[in-house]
Structure 1
């Protein structure tokens, strides 16, 4: 099993579940405080760095999603650490699009992480 598959087995289901539960509980994030945003950013940043330490591949297949997820987590975490007072996502079409995108990426990662390996 490759590092990409190992990471996909963790990141894929996590993205799907986190996206769905955050979409269902979006109103709970209206009262989030800057220290909570900063802490969330720190966690996202560390997750992104961890993924990029284990996998940095710019291939032309599904594995590039692992690298892109690592960079997205790193940059999102960095932004939340730099600007914890910035407005958070609210309800709207843009937020729904982000959740749909994350669920889709999570589904692709899950599928490729858990599918049976092909033997030559």
Structure 2
């Protein structure tokens, strides 16, 4: 199977599940986000996991062709950069995260963007080929 399809099939449903979870359990996710935006082992581990996942994607899929596959590459780089920031510059990463998740509306917007991206990747990964 093509790596792009494999990664789309992996990331797409995961993003959809996270988005549904966020929308259905908004209050709980807001609490988890607030808890996760404090310096400590949870923040460090999230950076480490993001860095590892991002590097795996970038090393397997560093394609800059101007079609849907570039989304996977960009996600890999964003995960890598986000992981590095959480490990090396945690105060800046906490500030950025606090700005993004500043209220209920922004959490809903992030969930909708995540769900849309997940649905698109799922469609591309699982759509029937001729």
Class of the TM-score when normalised by the shorter of the 2 chains? 0.7 to 0.9
Contact residue 13 and residue 106 of structure 1 kept, 8 A: yes
Give the corresponding residue for 2:7: 7
RMSD, matched Cα: 1.9
| Cα 1:50/1:95, change in 2 over 3 Å | same
Give the corresponding residue for 1:97: 109
| Cα 1:13/1:68, change in 2 over 3 Å | same
Contact residue 41 and residue 81 of structure 1 kept, 8 A: yes
In 2: Cα distance, 1:36 partner to 1:84 partner: 12
Give the corresponding residue for 1:116: 128
Contact residue 65 and residue 105 of structure 1 kept, 8 A: no
In 2: Cα distance, 1:75 partner to 1:9 partner: 23
**What is the number of equivalent residue pairs in this alignment?**
118
Structure 1: runs of 5+ lacking an equivalent: none
Deviation string 1:2-61 (CA, Å, 9 cap, x unpaired) is: 100001110111112123324532223323342211111111111110011111111121
Matches within 5 A, 1:52-63: 52-63=58-69
Quote the offset at 1:111 in angstroms: 0.6
